[in-house]
Structure 1
């Protein structure tokens, strides 16, 4: 007998432990389970299922109520009701009658974008649907293969499964087979929801943000198929922006009655608040056509006020403070649909929701402004200068894999939030960081606590993406290499009085030896790791020959 276990997390659960809107009607599968079930990309599979599993699952469901039942439009609280019990019991009886087991045939489907589902779960002629018994973080599915017959054994645990040490859990993030090129974007966003994408024009910077937003929807959802999913907004920065009036808005008194004219950014913030379980992406195109410190000052300030509460929710100071004036109440009425969101705005002002991700597109040329360290210190920077002329010709949409809140929205803000549970990994990262920072001593490029926190978060957020043929030390070293490029090298610029060849050589040596201390085999063997931070330092040394160097091309 062979078996494989799947834990039901939020996206697969019919009942959720907190109010979340979700239009999911299928069961997402990992590649491992797909292969276990025969790897047929588009076919039907018949399982043997057992009546006792569903009777016991119903009993656990009743004990765990109240829970939340979700659709794409709303989440409804479900309390205990004898009619609910009778309805579920009748469905079980109709399916099994007096038999101990029954056959259950459902569709196994692998999309072109790599997502794998069990769908068509509702059985013809009955109301039976295996998913209707699933409870977030309480349901366990065991797929069994025995004598050529597939079975599904199923149970609902009274305890949350994350606390059950006897279960070999399938990590939800690993159930998505993300293409490697997208991992740095996903983990950088989870570490800090403010990203700068730098590169030459035409490399697909804005496209990748749109596709990340699209990947938050099921492949057959209207939002996935649309030109612009509702969780994506593109704003073109104008050269004459010198304050936040175009983005956030301003109070107009032209009519005699003060009225707030809301900017597109503020409207998008309100939309993100209305749908907290869906990551929302704001794309600022050509972000540095105007001075970022001026038109984006409020955001740069409040993004540093992020704090994680005891429930893992991240809050910020308001980007628009509450006001007792009529214009503010009128504004909240215009921006909101939900009474809960409206009341929050009225009581606390309008702050940044934790599901809002801001991505700035950066082109560095003679028509643009350079970034100050104030901006660079607050953002994660990724270069996009590589061009694959053969890419993007076989599929219109990027094959990223299914994304959601768990993959993109972090629940930690500072190093202290994750240090104790990842002490060994964090200590390795800190030793590396200290080695590099020693080389930055006496320069304006020395890093402090903000960067330390983001380094630790980025390293820890990369741990779930370890592949079978990779060691944890390699994953940590790779993350440190990437975050060195994002957070340390991006701040270095100047002429030979600030940035000498000797300084860059010493920094290069510290980075290389530091990475080797984390993973001794990193640069060994027939296929040594190609460190992007070392490659960038090589570029910067060549550029210094002209008398000035910078991270930015």
Structure 2
């Protein structure tokens, strides 16, 4: 288990504020103030003056400082923004995973040392005040990933000295904790590994297959697994889940994100939708993945009603270490609606939430980074085909009908919440940077690129050429599996399995048409899929369809 520390912000610590990002998504600390820090270290930062506490994790990003022109302190740059400090040579970036407000009256119940940095957990030896510190921090972090992480430190069995009748008797202490409960973490054997990895790669996933294969059921299951805030677990379904059933008569984006009308007096009124309210709700729980399920997306022409949403998804970018999207309702429109429509904030469910209202007034309403869109598409004669533009911007997972004997003998599925929420914390980790991953594992990266070049060459000068998005998605998907392979000490064939899945999800789904357009590509792919058995079987099936019908497709 990684080392954990407490950083108690003391009065007069001006460096702390100068090294906190404007959006409080991350902060920097000098290697001198947090000595011997390593990537992966957990640091709980408590600022009683500002009444805030942060749950952070150390990254591998180090910035070298330079002296100011007046020699009064140092500065360093990160993502074109300048940070300053009174002293220090190297500054490490700490990502903020959870932020809480410190309630009035909260103080440390026991004195911390003069040093503001205190070890909470260290494998080299136990801190005798660990249990006290964990208890105090859990009064601040009452839910979410920080609470779960603190519980892990709480359960560790340690030898501590307890004075009994003036004698020191060594006793083993065990505390009741959720650590004793069964943990559900991502692994190669996890039944939903492929979907979870696809979500981490791109937060827009399509589940395809014939009707009755459990597509919307799986989306709901993921919501149960990731509903990490108790406040969201009080209704008939997880509060982080919304299912919207697409109608055949949907023809424009208004069906998803709402629309404005002119009312009496020339004033503007905005009509909100369930999707918009769910997006706003997700903003209020940034530590919880929110699962939006668009059911039977291809009952209507997807490009007609989903084009604006798809375009906004493409605006994702990093800004000072924070992932952001363009606003789909601009800040000027938000100001107009809130001024002219007295029901606007009430429709969004934001009455009384002044901080979020102010955020939308300043920046507009955009997609929150914890939103996951899972669409389901039924493949039959009554539904519409999927365009290349859509396929290029999503991860597609084909779902098969389960064995009939399984349906008869398997236990009935229960909708229940897990005991711990490691999957939620894993999904909310910062996006994997393919360039950083490539620099860490150049041999794996080179192997992936060499195999990708062969696949891309097959599609050159065909109607099914792939874009840079494909390369990016493949690298991220493979590097995520590489991290898992290292953790589980997997054999070398993990990469073949991973690329086998990518070929199905991103390449074969694009191929459809007659013999002239498809046969040359499929025959070349037949020669390139010797190490990818699932893809090879699918290519064989598609060639057979072409032979029998003169037309083929993935489904």
Q: TM-score, normalised by structure 2?
A: 0.67
Residues 1:548 and 2:551 aligned together: yes
Q: What displacement does 1:65 show? A: 8.8
Give the gaps of 5 or more residues in structure 1: 11-16, 21-59, 90-100, 105-120, 123-127, 154-172, 516-530
Residues 1:263 and 2:276 aligned together: no
Structure 2 match to 1:366: 381
Structure 2 match to 1:535: 537
User: Superposed, which structure 2 residues align to 1:450-469 within 5 Å?
Assistant: 450-466=469-485
Q: What displacement does 1:191 show? A: 0.7
Residues 1:505 and 2:506 aligned together: no
Q: What displacement does 1:404 show? A: 4.7
Q: What displacement does 1:374 show? A: 0.6
CA contact (8 A) 1:191 1:410 kept: no
Deviations 1:185-219 (A, max 9, x none): 11100110001000111111111111111111369
Structure 2 match to 1:132: 136
Give the gaps of 5 or more residues in structure 2: 7-19, 25-43, 56-97, 113-125, 161-169, 176-182
Deviations 1:304-333 (A, max 9, x none): 11112343x211111222325632554356
Residues 1:76 and 2:101 aligned together: yes
Residues 1:343 and 2:358 aligned together: yes
Q: 1:295 aligns with which of 305, 314, 317?
A: 305
CA contact (8 A) 1:246 1:263 kept: yes
Aligned with 2:368: secondary structure?
Answer: coil
C-alpha separation in 2, matches of 1:498 and 1:414:
36
C-alpha separation in 1, matches of 2:243 and 2:379:
19
C-alpha separation in 1, matches of 2:316 and 2:272:
23
Q: Which one is further off, 233-242 or 475-484? A: 475-484
Residues 1:322 and 2:322 aligned together: no
CA contact (8 A) 1:65 1:78 kept: no
1:348–1:85: structure 2 CA closer, same or farther, 3 Å change rule?
closer
Residues 1:441 and 2:442 aligned together: no
Structure 1 match to 2:295: 285
Aligned with 1:419: secondary structure?
Answer: helix
Deviations 1:27-46 (A, max 9, x none): xxxxxxxxxxxxxxxxxxxx
1:248–1:483: structure 2 CA closer, same or farther, 3 Å change rule?
same
Q: 1:237 aligns with which of 238, 246, 264?
A: 246
CA contact (8 A) 2:186 2:193 kept: no
Structure 1 match to 2:199: 189
User: Superposed, which structure 2 residues align to 1:190-209 within 5 Å?
Assistant: 190-209=200-219
CA contact (8 A) 2:53 2:100 kept: yes
C-alpha separation in 2, matches of 1:322 and 1:207:
36
CA contact (8 A) 1:189 1:409 kept: no
CA contact (8 A) 1:259 1:327 kept: yes
Q: TM-score, normalised by structure 1?
A: 0.67
C-alpha separation in 2, matches of 1:174 and 1:397:
16
C-alpha separation in 2, matches of 1:399 and 1:472:
33
Q: What displacement does 1:284 show? A: 0.6
CA contact (8 A) 1:287 1:362 kept: yes
Residues 1:393 and 2:403 aligned together: no
Structure 1 match to 2:190: 180
1:441–1:177: structure 2 CA closer, same or farther, 3 Å change rule?
closer
CA contact (8 A) 1:143 1:152 kept: yes
CA contact (8 A) 1:536 1:551 kept: yes
Aligned with 1:281: secondary structure?
Answer: strand
Q: Over aligned residue pairs, what C-alpha RMSD do you find? A: 4.1
Q: 2:511 aligns with which of 471, 487, 492?
A: 492
Residues 1:430 and 2:449 aligned together: yes
- Matched positions, count: 429
Q: 1:227 aligns with which of 217, 223, 236?
A: 236
C-alpha separation in 2, matches of 1:339 and 1:192:
31
